[in-house]
Amino acid sequence: MLVLKFGGTSVANANRITDVFSIVSNLHKKNKKIAVVCSALSGVTDDLIRVSRMAASRDDDYKKVLTIIRQRHLACIRELGIAKDKELLLFIDESFDALADLLHGVYLVKELSTRTLDFVSGQGELLSTRIIASYFNHKKLKSIFIDARKIIVTDENFGAGVVDFKNTNLRIQSAIGKSNTVSVVTGFVSATLSGEMTTLGRGGSDYTAAIVAAAVHAKEIQIWTDVDGVLTADPRKVKKAFPVSSMTYTEAMEMSHFGAKVIHPPTIQPALEKNIPLYIKNTFNPSAPGTYISVNSSDGDYLIKGISSIDDVILLTLEGSGMVGVAGISARLFNALAQAKINVILITQGSSEHTISFAVKPADGMPAKKAIDAAFELEIKAKMIEPVYVEPNLSIIAVIGENMRHQPGISGKLFQALGKNGISVVATAQGSSELNISVAIKREDLNKALNAIHQSFFLSDIKTVNVFLVGVGLIGG
């Protein structure tokens, strides 16, 4: 079984859906067992959430926005040439009637529960998937529409249901995998055991694909998106970034922790447990090789797999002679942060034990300082420890890759690239797994640093030469 997942931009309109059909029908020639998991048409989930909030705040325009969403789906149906499918049109009408009823209720009580929001925001997948299944059949690719609320069981944690794998796996196994019929499955949506609609959380369609694939022991998951795979760096910041041909699950998780939005770590978990490889492919460029993610990756030509970054962080430092050789300081520090529910992005302490620094999101900076200053109040009064020192406007860059393990010279190369470009390093951290070396630098240096590091690790044999011709007449011509 092959599980294919198409994201919102891949099913954005009739043209895109036609491309999806070509991809699926080509693959179907070689793989008879295929499950296709679909997202909502791009932007529809956001629109549905917006409509709900508008209704809850008694903004009458919510009806207009709902009509626009409906028209968008109807236009898509017309352009796909499937407006004769009466059952499909009935499905669309019933869905929007149910939405209108529910939103009217929200409007009246001025209250939007997470339960209601799940019902509304998940309609996008039900609509898109129903349309896609109908189009596949119209094109003579035998398909069945599968409403994932019947196969993915979660608890009542609305907004991000926790999957009950035992029931889910049984249901998936009996619903999917009838030979030669393509199963077209709604992403993102699920239901409780008693049948109440839930969702798997934003971006949850990837997770749907992984859950389905794990349940049927699929041989591969293909995530079809709008980029050529996982890139070596953020292409908006590094023009010369290029797709990585293969990487391990661990590397993919490290990359996505740092903002490379292609896959979310929890998404991979079911696939990882079953060792199911994952392909990231581009619907807009299907012939591009994409990125292959599995247990092993071919070693590749480069020392690292990729560079990722977090744009804006704050570094806090606790410092003082009262910390040296004293047990329990870091426990108290991080306990104070935990109590304040603050997530720590990077931690570093030198062996002199004189300072501990850690990075947090900007919004967490001041609450973190308050919590720690309070926790060390006595030491601060006694001048054994300084009040927390706050350094805003920093970025973190991480170089990532399993090849770095036991490989000397990587940090040398990293720091040399930064040093040569006059970029000073504020803090550094490396886990003992040697999978990731992180550095904090000034935010204003981020783009320059990313490009310098990228150049040094990936493009060292390519030199850029700028040629300028100056003059009038012959030269200008």
Q: Please say which residue, 5 or 369, places its beta carbon nearer to ligand ASP.
A: 5
Compute the least distance from the CB of residue 160 to ligand ASP, in Å. 11
Cβ 122 to ligand ASP, closest distance in Å?
Answer: 8
Q: For residue 160, what is the DSSP state?
A: S
Q: List alpha helices for 112-242, DSSP H.
A: 114-121, 123-138, 165-175, 205-215
φ/ψ (deg, to 5) at 421: -100, 15
- Radius of gyration for the chain, computed over Cα atoms and rounded to the nearest angstrom: 26
Q: Which is nearer to ligand ASP, 10 or 348 (CB)?
A: 10
Task: Give the CB-nearest residue to ligand ASP.
Answer: 205
Contacted entry of Mg ion, ligand ASP, none for residue 187, CB cut-off 5 to 8 Å set by kind: ligand ASP
CA distance 429 to 115: 42
Q: Which does 124 bind (CB under 5 to 8 A by kind): Mg ion, ligand ASP, none?
A: ligand ASP
Min dist. Cβ of residue 40 to ligand ASP (A): 4
Decide which of Mg ion, ligand ASP, none touches 306; Cβ closer than 5 to 8 Å per partner kind.
none
Picked from Mg ion, ligand ASP, none, the partner binding residue 451 (CB below 5 to 8 A depending on kind) is none
Rounded Cα–Cα distance for residues 72 and 41 (Å): 9
Whichever of 206 and 379 has its CB closer to ligand ASP, that residue is: 206
Taking the least distance from each CB to ligand ASP, the nearer of 131 and 307 is 131
* 114, 119, 122, 127 alpha-carbon torsion, rounded to 10°: -160
**What tokens were used for 65?**
């926005």
Query: Phi and psi of 275, rounded to 5°?
Result: 55, 35
Q: How far is the CB of 6 from ligand ASP (least distance, A)?
A: 10
DSSP 145: E
For ligand ASP, the closer of residues 226 and 391 by Cβ is: 226
Q: Residue numbers of the site for ligand ASP (CB under 6 A)?
A: 7-8, 39-40, 45, 124, 187-188, 202-205
- Estimate to the nearest angstrom the gap between the alpha carbon of 8 and the chain centroid: 13
Nearest to Mg ion of 39, 183 (CB atom): 39
How far apart CA 300 and CA 309 sit, in angstroms, is 22
Q: Least distance (Å) from ligand ASP to the CB of residue 295?
A: 25
Q: Which residue is nearest to Mg ion (CB)?
A: 8
Which residues are at the interface with Mg ion (CB under 5 A)?
8, 39
What's the gap between Cα 304 and its chain centre? 21
CB of 393 to Mg ion, least distance (A): 31
Which DSSP string corresponds to 283-336? TTSTTS--EEEESS----SSS-SEEEEEEEEEEEEEE-GGGTT-TTHHHHHHHH
Residue 136: contacted member of Mg ion, ligand ASP, none (CB under 5 to 8 Å, by partner type): none
- Contacted by 204, from Mg ion, ligand ASP, none: CB < 5 to 8 Å by type: ligand ASP
Compute the least distance from the CB of residue 205 to Mg ion, in Å.
Answer: 6
- Asked if 420 and 452 count as a contact pair (C-beta separation under 8 A), the reply is yes
* Cβ proximity to Mg ion, 4 vs 423, nearer residue: 4
